Amino acid sequence: MAMEVTQVLLNAQAVDGTVRKQAEENLKQFQEQNLPSFLFSLAGELSNDDKPVESRKLAGLILKNALDAKEQHRKLELVQRWLSLDPSVKTQIKACLLKTLSSPALDARSTASQVVAKVAGIELPHKQWPELIGSLLSNIHQLPANTRQATLETLGYICEEVSPDAVEQDHVNKILTAVVQGMNSSESNNDVRLAATRALYNALGFAQANFSNDMERDYIMRVVCEATLSPELRIRQAAFECLVAISSTYYEKLAPYIHDIFNITAKAVKEDEEPVALQAIEFWSSICDEEIDILEEYGGDFTGDSDVPCFYFVKQALPVLVPMLLETLLKQDEDQDQDEGAWNIAMAGGTCLGLVARTVGDDVVPLVMPFIEENITKPDWRQREAATYAFGSILEGPSPDKLIPLVNIALNFMLTALMNDPNNHVKDTTAWTLGRMFEFLHGSALETPIITQANIQQIINVLLQSMKDVPNVAEKACGALYFLAQGYEDAGSSSSPLTPFFQEIVQALLTVTHREDAGESRLRTAAYETLNEVVRCSTDETASMVLQLIPVIMMELHQTLEAQKLSSDEREKQNELQGLLCGCLQVIIQKLGSSEQSRYVFMQYADQMMALFLRVFASRSATAHEEAMLAIGALAYATGADFVKYMPEFYRYLEMGLQNFEDYQVCAITVGVVGDICRALEDKILPYCDGIMTQLLKDLSSNQLHRSVKPPIFSCFGDIALAIGENFEKYLIYAMPMLQSAAELSAHISGADDDMLEYTNSLRNGILEAYSGIFQGFKGSSKTQLLMPFAPHVLQFLDSLYMEKDMDDAVSKTAIGVLGDLADTLGSNAGPLIQQSVSSKDFLSECLSSDDHLIRESAEWAKLAISRAISF
């Protein structure tokens, strides 16, 4: 029943487009006519050593793609399809695959490894293919190195594909034994050793039990450390990758080995080739990540509890670690600042130094300062840049007390360097360092300002001047200005020190956006982002200047919409620009809309702005849509009920946004905008509610839509109900069952991880906001009795949330508020029900004495409403 596919597979890779197209068509036909036979033919092709390697490889790839897809629902379809295939065909295919692992052709073996792992990924969780691991392990001791290499690779892929609980501990032990043996220096074949080392990387997640056993852990660590000394670069690199993975997965087990690891990494950083040295630095960056997390948990929770204790590895290694990192800073590449994708040892070392500073704080400063002092004035640009970079790196972490005196000295030097240093690289890093000074050491929270009346003029002059420099330097200057403005965000009074420079700054930023070379080094984006921040942090004094910005930005947006006959590349750039301009308008709308006086003046532009936003929807760019949608939301809020005049035209884009499953961010933002519009229009939104509710209900039922959009959709039900009141009646039969089943699902989640708990809490919050809106929406209407049948369930939901004890503060606040809303709307009818609920007693009294004033406020409300409901 196998088909002859060799020629078609070869044709499918032909240079000639028509031949290729024809072949692809044929393959598609085969697949549609007889899938089992098609898959079997591909497996046969892959396993046949007489066939050309090109057709074998493609056969394997097509097979792999028939088993897995990126998109979640497509993936599920493929899994179901494979599971329902005739078992005898599957057995034959699997036999072919395993056989291929012994093929002399590397490409065939390697492709087969991946396909085996995909099949295992489907079958092992269903307790199928139980003999797989056993038969793979029996290969390990076979003589041909080919087979051993392919088998180890396959085991690695399987570990990547399958979750640890799908493999029994006995098999895990055997896999690890085989893998670690394969890594051992006694293995003479480098390909085998490399495959084993890479396999261990994936298998580490399976090794929990083994890492808890001292002897086994010692053995694994010894072998990994030995592999970092292999003569073969790829093996050393893979071994360091294992160490990096171990540093985050088994941080708490590292103490006995950390000294040896430091020596190994230091040697690699100093002497080894870059790919290896980068991994060695990454080990320390990763240790920093771990310790920063742990210390944050210490600091965040006054009980000082953390699941994992901090071993202060970084602090202990500091005297040797810092000099090692400083040395890397001198190994810059010539053009690294112009190359977006660049990553080298100097960049990695500087990044690690920044993490070290965040981990240990003040202790890093005395170790770095001598290096800076020695190098910052040297004739060699590398030394000046390294010194500047070192300074910039340690500005986050140490205390302001320690840093501010240094910054006060350095600031002037840096400003001069930014103007006068002959080297672009040095200027780039200098501007970045200034940005870091402003980001971490400038703002109302700090007692002694580094920016004063005396130097602000000079700082701004230098930055504006520097914005005319080459794109990468100008971009950093914009970034520095961004943080300079941000520092005045909560100046509190209506007078900002930036006011005298406002016009000049805005003008300079607009000039940057028009530079010919603004497309390089994301300069244009940086300029708009800085403009946004300057507007956000502006005060009433400059409101009129912000207002003048509107026609300017609108004109720019208009021009992008008028551009004709663009290449796809140009169009992409145009869309990006539209996104930036919409973003800028959004920030302005939000700024001016928040003050009564400026709102009235800027509303004169509302019609024109809306017309432009609607035109942006004609583009196909998700980012541009998202930005336009955000801007419209802000406009709706500022406009209020008058927004209704835009609805006839806007509605279809709203619906389009709600249907955009693929770009779920667009969908999420559109859901938020529906809320804005509800609050702006109140009951005038009624004519659009059928359409909106239909779409929202569809979204909720879809398994294609990203789950993060679902909580906001529930909240949106509440927004709609609050806006249209008892008119929500007709949606109750759809919305309530959905809310109920979601509530049941979210009430109990045992053994969920942090992510799941966080998501569940956001879901609970959405559901509760929906209930709140619905109850409040119906209040005072003649139809409150329609909600009576749902009361027992809502109260039950609140009770079970209370019993579970795993809700966060936001949920507590919303939940206790819902109790009040229910009592308020249903009144004495619900009195007995409320009195029976745990929520009305223990939960309420807990909330009444909460430390969180928002929770207390909601609880006060609930208490008041309940006392009314039961006093009848």
Minimum CB separation of residue 39 from other proteins in Å reads 25
Distance CA 560, CA 553 (A): 11
Is there a contact between 23 and 12 (Cβ–Cβ < 8 Å)? yes
Q: Which is nearer to other proteins, 154 or 375 (CB)?
A: 154
Residues 6+ apart with CB under 8 A from 553: 581, 584, 585, 588
**How far apart, in Å, are the Cα atoms of 553 and each of 85, 186, 587?**
59, 69, 12
Residue 397, phi-psi category: left (phi > 0), alpha (psi -120 to 50), beta (remainder) = left
Buried b (16+ CB within 10 A) or exposed e, 653-686: bbbbbbbbbebbbbbbbbbbbbbbbbebbbebbe
Q: Which is nearer to other proteins, 451 or 632 (CB)?
A: 632
Is there a contact between 416 and 433 (Cβ–Cβ < 8 Å)? no
Minimum CB separation of residue 776 from other proteins in Å reads 4
Distance CA 343, CA 274 (A): 10
Q: Which is nearer to other proteins, 201 or 802 (CB)?
A: 201
CA angle 570, 572, 573 (to 5 degrees): 65
Minimum CB separation of residue 392 from other proteins in Å reads 8
Minimum CB separation of residue 190 from other proteins in Å reads 15
- Rg of the chain over all Cα atoms, to the nearest angstrom: 32
Question: With DSSP H G I counted as helix, E B as strand and the rest as coil, what are the percentages for the chain, rounded to 5?
Answer: 80, 0, 20
Q: Which is nearer to other proteins, 47 or 715 (CB)?
A: 715
Minimum CB separation of residue 494 from other proteins in Å reads 5
User: How many Cα atoms sit within 13 Å of 205 on the Cβ side?
Assistant: 14
Q: Which is nearer to other proteins, 23 or 689 (CB)?
A: 689
CB count within 10 Å of CB 516 equals: 7
Nearest to 547, CA basis, from 604, 632, 494, 628: 604
Is there a contact between 257 and 268 (Cβ–Cβ < 8 Å)? no
Q: Which is nearer to other proteins, 5 or 287 (CB)?
A: 287
DSSP 457-498: HHHHHHHHHHTTS-HHHHHHHHHHHHHHHHTTTT--SS--TT
Minimum CB separation of residue 395 from other proteins in Å reads 13
Minimum CB separation of residue 580 from other proteins in Å reads 9
Q: Which is nearer to other proteins, 489 or 655 (CB)?
A: 489
Residues 6+ apart with CB under 8 A from 458: 415
Is there a contact between 613 and 628 (Cβ–Cβ < 8 Å)? yes
Residue 682, phi-psi category: left (phi > 0), alpha (psi -120 to 50), beta (remainder) = left
Distance CA 617, CA 743 (A): 36
Distance CA 625, CA 448 (A): 43
Minimum CB separation of residue 623 from other proteins in Å reads 8
Minimum CB separation of residue 606 from other proteins in Å reads 18
Q: Which is nearer to other proteins, 12 or 535 (CB)?
A: 535
Minimum CB separation of residue 778 from other proteins in Å reads 10
Q: Which is nearer to other proteins, 699 or 824 (CB)?
A: 824
Q: Which is nearer to other proteins, 39 or 811 (CB)?
A: 811
Q: Which is nearer to other proteins, 79 or 580 (CB)?
A: 580
Minimum CB separation of residue 785 from other proteins in Å reads 17
Q: Which is nearer to other proteins, 285 or 746 (CB)?
A: 285
Residues 6+ apart with CB under 8 A from 65: none
Pair of tokens at residue 337: 């600042």
Minimum CB separation of residue 852 from other proteins in Å reads 12
Q: Which is nearer to other proteins, 412 or 494 (CB)?
A: 494
Minimum CB separation of residue 562 from other proteins in Å reads 24
Distance CA 602, CA 595 (A): 11
Residues 6+ apart with CB under 8 A from 701: none
